[in-house]
Structures are given as structure tokens and as C-alpha cells.
Amino acid sequence: MSQTRASIGLMEKHNLTLSGLGRSFGTTRAVDGVSLDIGSGEFVGIIGRSGAGKSTLLRLLNRLVDPTDGHISFAGRDITRMKGRAVRDWRRQCAMIFQQFNLIDRLDVLTNVLVGRLAAHGFASSMAMRFTDAERALAIQALHRLDLAPQALQKAGTLSGGQQQRVAIARALVQNPRILLADEPIASLDPGNATRVMDALRTINVEDGITVLVNLHTLDTARAYCDRIIGMRSGRVVFDGSARALTNDVVREIYGSDDFGDFNESVTSTAIRSSVPA
Ligand SMILES: Nc1ncnc2c1ncn2[C@@H]1O[C@H](COP(=O)(O)OP(=O)(O)OP(=O)(O)O)[C@@H](O)[C@H]1O
Ligand SMILES: [Mg+2]
């Protein structure tokens, strides 16, 4: 159940392929003809101004939102055509974390992490929240990796924001995912906590080979952590390249030249640097 480096070596590598993916809400094209090939183990940052379609793209990927056109495939399977149980299994494979953590405040940290195992349970056992010893061991191991073992029995609502986001990452990890989707995971954290959360994502990516796609609203974070940066504007991909290729001209194209002055202050405000070797 637990993923080790050795087992990753045996794990088949699969690309995540988006072809002409689109989603409309009324007349709004939230995502508009996005085609991307994301390799196994990549660490991808998605940037763009508010409303560019970043969240919708992640939600399309884990089928929280259905596309109006185009396809997503993974390991030769058409994700967009999946129904019922297959969708639930896919969601287990691509765990999602959110800006607001989405923990159950009144439950302890360990139980919150174990919630990540529920996707693998039947309905009755999910309702009863019954977990095996092996699952508890897996959850404690995940907490240990995120430096949260001492907080295992503390109520989630009493933790700092950064700790809560790391609990959410531990909960994602016990799902044993192939892909981790993170929608602005550090947007409500101070720089110190933001660094710890980004470092944790990077460590998981490097050590476990899990593909990470993370929406970010600060350019310096994207530059510091991401192998590949995707810039979206009005639902479309307008940049796809390395941090080095993300020049000021490109940034202007992504965010729109009219607000260059505004965005320049707002999107670069969190000065954090990766302390995890790539
Ligand atoms: N459920 C929905 N119903 C109607 N419109 C929606 C819905 N979800 C998203 N949209 C619209 O789609 C567009 C893209 O939204 P999305 O949330 O994906 O942008 P974003 O890049 O994540 O923005 P932000 O940086 O503010 O989080 C916006 O115009 C938004 O209003
Ligand atoms: Mg968003």
C-alpha cells in the first residue's frame, strides 16, 4: 500500500494528455481548447490572472467539472468518458488540495488523514469511518513525513494554517495518488508556512515521483519550484516553458499589459525560495 522509492521504479510512467479541452459556463469559456502533454513526475505550476481558468482546469482534471469539449487521457484511458465507480477511482489517483484546506476541524489530525483512505472503502465502512491497522500505520507514516506526528491527536481546527495544509497533503498522500492537484495551496499562508508547504510538495514529487500540478498566484513561487510553468489567459494556454523562459514580456502577455503595474506588485509579493533540491 505504501509507496516506496523502490516500488516507484517499477511503477509504469504515464503521461497525462489534454486534447482540445474546453469548458463553457454560459457564454464564458473558462477553459478554451487546452492541449497539453504532462509527463509522469513533472512539477508544473499554472499561473494567470483571476478568472484565467486555472481552477477550472484542475477541476476538469479530477472530474469535479465535466468538459464541454475535448478529452483527457491517462495511461491510454479516456478520463472524460469515465462514469460512476471509474470516476471515483480516478479521483483517488489524482488527489486534490485546496487553498482552504478542507479539513474537519473538530476531528483529530490522524482521523483527517485517514479520511483520504475512504475513497478505497465501500459505502458502509465509509459511513462508520472504520480503518485497518495498516491504514493507521500509513497515516502516521504520512504525518511523520510532514513533521506532524506530534500533532496526530490534536483537533485539526487548532493547528496553524500551514500545519493544516500539511495535514491536507498527508491526507492526499494516503490516497496513494499518481497525480497531486493543488489549487492555490499557499494563498492564505504567511511566507514561512508557504515555504514549508511548497517544500513538502516538492519533496513528495522528487521522492515519490508523483506528478504535481499547482495553481499559483505568485510568480516568484512558480519560478522557485516549478520545472515547467503554464501561463493561462482567458481559458487558453499562452505560455508553456521553463522559469528561465518566463521573461517580463511573457509575463506581460499572461497577465495583460494594461495591468502590468498592478500585477507586478501583487503576484510577486511572497518572496519564498525552495529549500528542496530539484
Ligand atoms: N461554476 C461556475 N459557474 C459559472 N462560471 C464559472 C464557474 N466556475 C468558473 N466560472 C467562470 O470561469 C472563469 C474561470 O474561472 P476559474 O475559477 O477557473 O479562474 P481562476 O484562474 O481559477 O481564477 P482565480 O485566480 O480567481 O482563482 C471565470 O470567468 C469564472 O467566473
Ligand atoms: Mg482559482
pLDDT per residue as tens digits for the range 10-21: 456 789 999 999
User: How many DSSP H helices and E strands does the chain contain?
Assistant: 11, 10
Q: Which ligand sits nearest to residue 24's alpha carbon?
A: 1
pLDDT of res. 273 = 54
Which residue among 55, 62, 219 is best mutated to probe the pocket of ligand 1, counting the most ligand atoms within 8 A of its Cβ?
55
Could you tell me the distance, in angstroms and rounded to a whole number, from the CA of residue 273 to the centre of ligand 1?
29
153 phi/psi in degrees, rounded to 5: -100, 5
Share of the chain residues as helix, strand and coil, in percent rounded to the nearest 5? 45, 25, 35
Could you tell me the distance, in angstroms and rounded to a whole number, from the CA of residue 121 to the centre of ligand 2?
30
Could you tell me the distance, in angstroms and rounded to a whole number, from the CA of residue 269 to the centre of ligand 2?
18
Residue 7 pLDDT exceeds 90: no
Instruction: Give buried/exposed letters for 8-42 (b at 16+ CB in 10 A, else e).
Output: eeeeeebebbbbebbbeeeeebbbbebebebebbb
Domain spans, the chain: 18-262
Percentage of the chain modeled with pLDDT above 70: 85
Half-sphere exposure of 247 (CA within 13 A, CB side): 2
Which residue among 25, 184, 217 is best mutated to probe the pocket of ligand 1, counting the most ligand atoms within 8 A of its Cβ?
25
- Ligand 1 residue neighbourhood (C-beta within 6 Å): 25, 28, 30, 48, 50-56
Percentage of the chain modeled with pLDDT above 90: 79
Looking at the CA of residue 235, tell me the nearest atom of ligand 1.
Answer: 14
Looking at the CA of residue 57, tell me the nearest atom of ligand 1.
Answer: 18
CA pair distance 112, 171, nearest whole angstrom: 7
Query: 6: which 3 cell numbers?
Result: 523502490
Looking at the CA of residue 52, tell me the nearest atom of ligand 1.
Answer: 21
Residue 248, classified by CB atoms within 10 Å of its CB into exposed (0-12), middle (13-18) or buried (19+), is: exposed
> Residue 97 forms beta bridges with which residues?
182
Per CATH, domain 18-262 is 3.20.10.10: no
Which ranges in the chain belong to alpha helices (H)? 5-10, 54-61, 84-93, 109-114, 123-128, 133-145, 161-173, 191-208, 219-225, 248-255, 260-266
H-run or E-run covering 32: strand 28-38
CA pair distance 209, 42, nearest whole angstrom: 8
Q: What is the pTM of this model?
A: 0.89
CA pair distance 41, 37, nearest whole angstrom: 12
Could you tell me the distance, in angstroms and rounded to a whole number, from the CA of residue 71 to the centre of ligand 2?
21
The lowest-confidence range among 191-200, 210-219, 266-275 is 266-275
Question: Cα–Cα distances in Å, from 52 out to 32, 47, 49, 103, 230?
Answer: 10, 9, 6, 27, 12
Each residue's pLDDT tens digit, 156-207: 999 999 999 999 999 999 999 999 999 999 999 999 999 999 999 999 999 9
Contact 15, 38 (CB under 8 A): yes
Each residue's pLDDT tens digit, 117-147: 987 776 666 666 788 999 999 999 999 999 9
Half-sphere exposure of 74 (CA within 13 A, CB side): 21
Largest CA distance in the chain: 57
Residue with cell 469511518: 129
pLDDT of res. 5 = 45
Could you tell me the distance, in angstroms and rounded to a whole number, from the CA of residue 2 to the centre of ligand 2?
31
Would you call 190 helix, strand, or coil by DSSP? coil
Each residue's pLDDT tens digit, 237-268: 999 999 999 999 999 999 986 544 445 544 55
Q: Whose CA is nearest to atom 7 of ligand 1?
A: 25
